[in-house]
Amino acid sequence: MSQKKFWFGKKKQVDSQSDLTEDNIPRHVAIIMDGNGRWARRRGLPRVAGHHSGMKNVKKITIAADDIGVEILTLYAFSTENWKRPQDEVDYLMSLPQEFFPLEIEELIEKNVRIRMTGWKEGVPGHTLEAVENAIERTKHNTGLILNFAFNYGSRKEMTEAMRAMVRDVQLGKLKPEDITEEEYSNRLQTSGLPDPDLLIRTSGELRISNFMLWQLAYTELWFTDLYWPEFSENHFFEAIREYQNRVRRYGGL
């Protein structure tokens, strides 16, 4: 079987990936980056310190995904439900995109990473949107890995909006009820144009989907770990990929 060695930069080889097979790398990996607050409390730190640590881990895992040939990495950064958190925590989270870019964007541009966003702009502070849009703009001609931030995202809202768009098109006579198909519906979701995730990783021990890409995850392999997001390393990521490669994907067939 063909084996590939994966290298980080010029020196650091991460050894546990050498048994990944080059074929059958998932095209699209999605991650629910959970456990940042708990990781911090465990260390006697404020929750926001965990979010900062979690942000540092985003670049590391993005580069690892790029190195093995993943095409799309979707990261669940902020849900439509996260607004219910204490205001100072929300404020801190909304400062992360601004912080992320001066620190991480040069390397991501160098790696040919393209940033995109899934979610709604409504309610997101102007300074946060500006940072996100700047990143999207500065990487829009890149042709490498798509780093897709799910930000102010919720799946039921996404599906409700897609339904509203379809009903409107029916009312306008642009779509006949008998022409409503899975494809017509998918095309009205925020993820239109992206393949569905092949693998979903959730850190921090919760065994739930939590309103994340409910439609898109229909045939996705699920992989859970007790590790908190800030301690989830490249080698843990490769472990998830390896297990994915060992599962037989049948799509309901035989």
Footprint of ligand V0D (CB under 6 A): 33, 36, 51, 54-55, 58, 77-78, 93-94, 96-97, 100, 115, 132, 135, 149, 151, 229
Task: Compute the radius of gyration of the chain from its Cα atoms.
Answer: 19
Q: Determine contact, residues 18/67, Cβ cutoff 8 Å.
A: no
The nearer residue to ligand V0D, 223 or 229, going by C-beta atoms, is 229
Active site residue 34: yes
The nearer residue to ligand V0D, 94 or 166, going by C-beta atoms, is 94
The nearer residue to ligand V0D, 78 or 223, going by C-beta atoms, is 78
Minimum distance from CB of 131 to ligand V0D (Å)? Answer: 6
The nearer residue to ligand V0D, 26 or 54, going by C-beta atoms, is 54
Cα separation values, 170 from 165, 177, 231, Å: 9, 7, 49
Active site residue 82: yes
Minimum distance from CB of 194 to ligand V0D (Å)? Answer: 16
| Active-site position among 15, 23, 34, 187 | 34
In the bound complex, which residue of the shown chain has the CB atom lying closest to ligand V0D? 54
Backbone angles phi, psi at 157, to 5 degrees: -65, -45
The nearer residue to ligand V0D, 183 or 226, going by C-beta atoms, is 226
Minimum distance from CB of 77 to ligand V0D (Å)? Answer: 4
* Size (the chain), residues: 254
Minimum distance from CB of 86 to ligand V0D (Å)? Answer: 14
Minimum distance from CB of 196 to ligand V0D (Å)? Answer: 21
| Active-site position among 19, 23, 57, 82 | 82
Residues with catalytic annotation? 34, 82
